[in-house]
Structure 1
Amino acid sequence: MTPDTELTPVDQGQLQARTIRPIAASAIYGIAFDGDILLAVDPRNGYLLQIDPFTNNTTIINPHNWDDFIGATGLAIADDTLWFTTRENVYFCPISRQGTTISLTYPAQLFTRLNYPVNGVAVQEGAVYVTCQKSGDIYIFNRENGKEITRLYAPGIGTQNITVKGEQLWLSDPLEQTIFCLDRATGKEIFSVLTPFESPTGLAFHRCQKTGKETLYVAYTYSEPYIRDNPNAEPNYELQYRDRTFIHPLYFRLDTEKKYALSNGYLIEVSYVEELEPLDPFLLPNVEWRIALPAETDRQKVRKVEAIGLPFTEEVQEGQRVAVFKFDQLTNNARYVFGWKAILEVWSIKYQIKPRECENIPELSPEYQARYLIDNDDLAMDTEIIRRAAEEAIGRETNLLRKMYSIRNYVYDRLSYGIKPHIDSPDIALKRGVGSCGEYLGVLLALSRLNGIACRTVGRYKCPAHPLMKNLPLQPDYNHVWMEFYIPGFGWLPMESNPDDINEGGPYPTRFFMGLAWYHAEMAKDVPFERLLSNGSPVNKEQVSIGELAINHVQFTILEELDPNQ
């Protein structure tokens, strides 16, 4: 059953994995389950909603007191009491149940008031947990007298919501696109997982009454661009934005041995095809057109690969599968369509490695030093601006993981994102202060290698991040590259080139530091993504470039959602 399949009455009593779409809600933040009843708060409208998760049937249970919930973001149910947060205040209100209907007993009572706006609330036993983005803390209060017991550090940088499960605290962070799991007593981070959609704004666990299985549901709220047909405008099509909010199950699996966590995956079909259509006359004899195939990684599995248009032979180069298309001769009069199609399992991944684990790591092997610490891609590592930046970026830091994190933040502080027709070397990009993903990557590679951190370019495309749009062809707007850095004793870890640079001057999210979302398609590691050989020798760009010979066609189709536990 797919997540969007509607449930018939015979399914009642066992909530299947599905996307829950509350009717008339413009934004969903705090959510809470009371058995099979789902409550959610819409802070824009002030609605406290009761939602039937089997049918999406929605009821406003505060029709005359909606203004009490304007701005409310946190929600929790404990025993016969509903808790919610709004502005700087935490309130509680008795509830009563009549069958499957919940009603409130007014007025709501003030539990505590903070100096800053509060975001989420959770209640278990005698403790009340409150999150506050402004202070960066999780406040713990005594439920009986409202006195503060202690505070815990809250990871992440966004407006976090919170729920409790046993001895664990779970936090959602919309800017980090992440769910954090913490130890309830100490606040120590146990692990974190990426969410399949942007902007997670609330979370709650549901326990199936029949099986006892618990599923984590996450609320999402964001604005979606769309093309509106406006008959009163000329032209009649115009760009508009609309609210999108829904609740979706989050699947995850922690691999403690390999130190990573996988979350919601997707089965996708991806195709890469070249259409030979030269711009100028040319003649190339005995041609090999080499295109890298998708890689096998911790988060990406290849189920099937097949040729499109023309057959290819497969070679393995530096551990990377490569499709080789052979032509006796290519001229400007030839017309071909050729490439490959693959069925992939892709997952979101977040590695769970801490700086203290990198204190006594082995030395980088001579082979890796010779291969991954050199300037082999026009990185301008011998220029004064790059060498000075490499020193400034790490200061006196000696821990490899902290060095890498400091380099990332240094580059984010000095570059803003922008696309140009071509990629400049890192020294020029750093002087200019604006760069594409490739230019971000060049600066990151140069500074990392000068500081003794082995790193390499990976990529090549991102599937359009619309996981609810299944079985529809999706085309990415651009290609994309990111990097991997190497920790001896652990292996290669991913790091995005620029998407985490979302706030001018920081703070920057860490969602893609040692993490990748499901929509990253890994197609080339340690080898060029695409090469052209004639008579066994590489064809240089001055002679003829692939971009002048052919038009590439890239397409993704999301087939189904995957649970890493199955």
Structure 2
Amino acid sequence: MIPDTVSLDISHQQLNLSTIRPIAASEIHGIAFQGAILWAIDTKNGYLLKIDPLTHNTQIVNQEHWEDFIGVTGLAIADDKFWFTSQQNIYYCSLNDQTFTPELFTRLSYPANGMAIWESTVYISCQKTGHILVFNGETKQQITRLYAPGIGIENLTIRGEELWVSDSLEQTVYCLDRATGKIRFSVLTPFEYPTGLGFYKHPQTGEDVLYVAYVNSEPYIRDNPNADPNHELLYRTRTFIHPLYFAYHSEGNYALSNGYLVEMSYVEELAPLDVVELQDLEWRIALPADTHRQKVRKIEPVGLPFTEVVENGQRIAVFKFDTLTPNTRCIFGWKVLLEVWSIKYRLTPKDCENIPDLSQEYCDRYLVDNDDLAMHTDIIQRAAAEAAERETNLLRKVYSIRNYVYDRLSYGIKPHIDTPDIALRRGVGSCGEYVGVLLALFRLNGIACRTVGRYKCPSSPLTRNLPLEPDYNHVWLEFYIPSIGWLPMESNPDDIIEGGPYPTRFFMGLAWYHAEMAKDTPFERLVINGSILNKQQVSIGSVAINHVRFTILEELNPAKNIQVSMDS
């Protein structure tokens, strides 16, 4: 296996920082650190947990009063006081009080979610109002309110002049200016549904480590001896606390978070369904690219050797066959060792004012219908005009078009991809059909864009050294802002709420599990004498079976990521 020759990043192991799974905890909603102690609230059981972050030893502190804490979501520790939110109420009590008798601080008009304390200032998040409310801790009067950065349930913590916010639906942690509420940057979390966060100062190194709590459900196979068949598919809730590593690159307007060293292989198995014989065949397969969030450490062939060419900046593996017949059987492909990270760009509409015009080269390449986008049809042209809403700012225009498409499409898988006019009329689309509609509407509005893909690693970062196989391939897109560069945007994963509001987690952002390849070139092609064979001549799917595998080897720290040009 490739990693035998590679030095793995084990910095978090050296610090003895690992995933914390408190025994008996069901749903942790809110965590806080008090020196070397981690406090956590289990909202389902009502347990106030005291945890050693190094040994993971866990105690239930409110042993006789747990019923009073069922439903608590926010948690903060200040001096010897324990603060928490319960429905519309904000309470505090002394940690030295064995009866945990709460005192009411204030009552809101809507349910309170998370909270944080800084000296005599109290911060409270409220999803219903979309704000973070700021109170004077002594007078109990509201001082001001800040706009909440996301649309989900948010929890808070404070580090110096920074207010940190986790958002359950956005799968994001935001770093805000504590005084103004302005977003400095944001990072994607490696798991869905973050429910609490807090900074821990490691006693040996003095390093500030951000821990994030999560609550989500996972499928599992239950062996039921009373059923026939005895195996049942069920879901269970899991909760845990995991370090969130991040690195902010202000010059590139992006932040990286938890990365993983991944071994990926793409292999074709020749097994023709039809009688086909090809002479002097070149089988071309795109290789993973080096980007801000992805670095190729090593590539090696599988089965057969290949040569390498570069097309439009994209590395391509070329396998050559003198003769391919119906009886030919072999496997061939590549195996690559990848560093992959989550990335989130932070740009505002103001950053996109007074930008230069798109170059003629980009107009000719990225504003044309070169991929069966049905840009000439009435339904697509009407949609392009409606979606832009007379917006002139490029970033706002992209955002408006995305929301327009999400309003009119729902996700669904089909055997083949229809053109954007058919998908838009039908109202249901796969990731490829979402991309097709978005490309068509962007290009008709003068926004350069391109398809990107090709696969996603199964999102199981805690599953190490086991081969994982994706169920489907996947495509997303990139749009271009002159003088800034290419920015990623997912196709459909943010379309999760009927009618909106929609998260922006993957608007100018990608999760760690995306494998980037096939930019400005098809992912896989058959070529004879310099001519590309189309599907009518030979379909790759009728000639070979593809095998895609990912193996997650190690978690990485993004501070060691190598920067490359945004225009790559």
Q: TM-score range by the shorter chain?
A: over 0.9
Secondary structure in structure 1 of the residue aligned to 2:453: strand
Alignment of 1:407-422 (within 5 A): 407-422=401-416
Secondary structure in structure 2 of the residue aligned to 1:412: helix
Partner in structure 2 of residue 62 of structure 1:
62
Taking structure 1 as reference, are residues 520 and 104 closer, same or farther at Cα in structure 2, changes over 3 Å only? farther
Shift of 1:543: 1.7
1:75 corresponds to 2:54: no
- CA distance in 1 between counterparts of 2:43 and 2:216 reads 13
Partner in structure 2 of residue 34 of structure 1:
34
- CA distance in 2 between counterparts of 1:106 and 1:45 reads 16
Partner in structure 1 of residue 474 of structure 2:
480
- CA distance in 1 between counterparts of 2:203 and 2:534 reads 65
Partner in structure 1 of residue 51 of structure 2:
51
Given that 1:4 and 1:19 are in contact with CA atoms closer than 8 Å, whether structure 2 keeps it comes out as: no
1:85 corresponds to 2:79: no
Secondary structure in structure 1 of the residue aligned to 2:284: strand
Partner in structure 2 of residue 310 of structure 1:
304
Deviations 1:273-301 (A, max 9, x none): 00000001111111000000001100000
Deviations 1:507-565 (A, max 9, x none): 10000000000000001100000000123211121122000000000000001000012
Shift of 1:454: 0.1
Partner in structure 2 of residue 364 of structure 1:
358
Secondary structure in structure 2 of the residue aligned to 1:370: helix
Secondary structure in structure 1 of the residue aligned to 2:95: strand
Partner in structure 2 of residue 340 of structure 1:
334
Secondary structure in structure 1 of the residue aligned to 2:364: helix
Given that 1:119 and 1:131 are in contact with CA atoms closer than 8 Å, whether structure 2 keeps it comes out as: yes
Letter matched to residue 30 of structure 1: G
Letter matched to residue 19 of structure 1: T
Partner in structure 2 of residue 548 of structure 1:
542
Partner in structure 1 of residue 115 of structure 2:
121
1:210 corresponds to 2:215: no
Given that 2:387 and 2:404 are in contact with CA atoms closer than 8 Å, whether structure 1 keeps it comes out as: yes
Deviations 1:110-158 (A, max 9, x none): 1011011110010011110000000000001110121111111001110
Secondary structure in structure 1 of the residue aligned to 2:500: coil
Residue in structure 1 matching 2:156, options 162, 174, 199: 162
Alignment of 1:389-538 (within 5 A): 389-538=383-532
- CA distance in 1 between counterparts of 2:223 and 2:404 reads 44
Deviations 1:350-388 (A, max 9, x none): 011111010110100000000000000010000000000
- CA distance in 1 between counterparts of 2:253 and 2:408 reads 32
Letter matched to residue 329 of structure 1: T
- CA distance in 1 between counterparts of 2:349 and 2:223 reads 52
Letter matched to residue 179 of structure 1: V
Alignment of 1:125-164 (within 5 A): 125-164=119-158
Taking structure 1 as reference, are residues 44 and 116 closer, same or farther at Cα in structure 2, changes over 3 Å only? same
Moved more, 201-210 or 497-506: 201-210
Given that 1:3 and 1:19 are in contact with CA atoms closer than 8 Å, whether structure 2 keeps it comes out as: no
- CA distance in 2 between counterparts of 1:280 and 1:220 reads 50
Shift of 1:80: 1.0
Partner in structure 2 of residue 176 of structure 1:
170
Instruction: Give the TM-score of the pair, scaled to structure 2.
Output: 0.96
- CA distance in 1 between counterparts of 2:10 and 2:225 reads 37
Deviations 1:236-286 (A, max 9, x none): 111101111111111111111111100000000000000000001111111
Letter matched to residue 311 of structure 1: P
Secondary structure in structure 2 of the residue aligned to 1:467: coil
Deviations 1:159-209 (A, max 9, x none): 000011111110001110000111111111111000011111000001123
Given that 2:283 and 2:527 are in contact with CA atoms closer than 8 Å, whether structure 1 keeps it comes out as: yes
1:251 corresponds to 2:242: no
Shift of 1:104: 4.5
- CA distance in 2 between counterparts of 1:57 and 1:429 reads 54
Shift of 1:394: 1.1
Partner in structure 2 of residue 100 of structure 1:
none
Partner in structure 2 of residue 562 of structure 1:
556
Given that 1:3 and 1:561 are in contact with CA atoms closer than 8 Å, whether structure 2 keeps it comes out as: no
Secondary structure in structure 2 of the residue aligned to 1:465: coil
- CA distance in 2 between counterparts of 1:536 and 1:564 reads 41
- CA distance in 1 between counterparts of 2:440 and 2:277 reads 37
Deviations 1:51-83 (A, max 9, x none): 122222211111111111111011010011010
Deviations 1:466-496 (A, max 9, x none): 0000111000010000000000000000000
Moved more, 233-242 or 419-428: 233-242
- CA distance in 1 between counterparts of 2:240 and 2:457 reads 21
Secondary structure in structure 2 of the residue aligned to 1:448: helix
Secondary structure in structure 2 of the residue aligned to 1:73: coil
Given that 2:341 and 2:512 are in contact with CA atoms closer than 8 Å, whether structure 1 keeps it comes out as: yes
Instruction: Give the TM-score of the pair, scaled to structure 1.
Output: 0.96
Secondary structure in structure 2 of the residue aligned to 1:85: strand
- CA distance in 2 between counterparts of 1:456 and 1:282 reads 33
- CA distance in 1 between counterparts of 2:188 and 2:100 reads 38
Letter matched to residue 275 of structure 2: P
Residue in structure 1 matching 2:281, options 287, 311, 317: 287
- CA distance in 2 between counterparts of 1:68 and 1:471 reads 43
- CA distance in 1 between counterparts of 2:11 and 2:506 reads 26
Q: Which runs of 4+ in 1 moved over 3 A?
A: 1-5
Letter matched to residue 493 of structure 1: L
- Which runs of 5 or more structure 2 residues have no equivalent in the other structure? 1-8, 561-568
Partner in structure 2 of residue 278 of structure 1:
272
Deviations 1:431-461 (A, max 9, x none): 0000000000000000000000000000000
Given that 1:2 and 1:18 are in contact with CA atoms closer than 8 Å, whether structure 2 keeps it comes out as: no
Letter matched to residue 323 of structure 1: A
- CA distance in 1 between counterparts of 2:19 and 2:185 reads 25
- CA distance in 1 between counterparts of 2:473 and 2:227 reads 34
Given that 1:272 and 1:555 are in contact with CA atoms closer than 8 Å, whether structure 2 keeps it comes out as: yes
Residue in structure 2 matching 1:228, options 222, 226, 240: 222
Secondary structure in structure 2 of the residue aligned to 1:390: helix
Moved more, 44-53 or 434-443: 44-53
Give me the identity figure in percent.
71
Given that 1:83 and 1:93 are in contact with CA atoms closer than 8 Å, whether structure 2 keeps it comes out as: yes
Secondary structure in structure 1 of the residue aligned to 2:494: coil
- CA distance in 2 between counterparts of 1:105 and 1:69 reads 12
Shift of 1:212: 2.1
Letter matched to residue 149 of structure 1: I
- CA distance in 2 between counterparts of 1:472 and 1:176 reads 29
Shift of 1:211: 2.8
Letter matched to residue 427 of structure 1: D
Secondary structure in structure 1 of the residue aligned to 2:29: coil
- CA distance in 1 between counterparts of 2:534 and 2:549 reads 28
